Amino acid sequence: MSDRTSTKTTSRHGPAGRSAPALDDIDARIVDELGRDGRMSIRTLAEQVNISRTNAHSRVERLLASGVITGFHARVEPAKVGLGTAALIGLSIEQDTWREVSRRLADIDHVEHVALVAGEFDIVIRVRTADNLALRSLVFDHIQSLPGVRTCHTWLIFDEFEPEHR
């Protein structure tokens, strides 16, 4: 195994519309490998990217400390934990209410993702519920009724997948 460090930098995903910090090739490969299997041991990671265990450990610690890696998560099959209905919801909101609306959305159970967007809607959210009746309640009783929400459009998700090239 070698401990060679590349000086070549690779652009990685950062906050939308902003430049991401430059990662060298080894850091980029570490991020990719851990993105595929966050439970991978440091030994296996080191073997995958062809560096020593000590180098792999210090790089992972640095990536964690710098906020490049923000955590390790289990991928859960939603239907198997009782969340068989998913939807995207587009919200149009009153001007200057996005901070408050976003904060309130983040506090609502079953809201998985909140994105402030440009275009026809101001905010797009992804939700998961047990069934259509629970989705209806979530939309009408908790989301559409939030102060600042003007309109609410819901799209039922029939099926979803993550691309394999991850």
Q: Which tens digit of pLDDT belongs to each residue from 49-65?
A: 999 999 999 999 999 99
CA dist., res. 21 & res. 81, Å (int): 36
**Lowest mean pLDDT across 2-6, 139-143, 146-150:** 2-6
Q: Residue 125: beta bridge partners? A: 89, 114
CA dist., res. 149 & res. 16, Å (int): 24
Average pLDDT for 122-148: 97
pLDDT at 2: 40
pLDDT digit string, tens, across residues 66-104: 999 999 988 899 999 999 999 999 999 999 999 999 999
Average pLDDT for 112-124: 97
pLDDT at 5: 38
Banded pLDDT at 4 (limits 50, 70, 90): very low
Average pLDDT for 14-30: 76
Instruction: Kindly state the percentage of the chain with pLDDT values over 90.
Output: 79
pLDDT at 12 over 80: no
CA dist., res. 135 & res. 63, Å (int): 38
pLDDT at 30 over 70: yes
Helices (H), the chain: 25-36, 42-49, 53-65, 98-106, 132-137
pLDDT at 18: 58
Q: What is the mean pLDDT of the chain?
A: 89
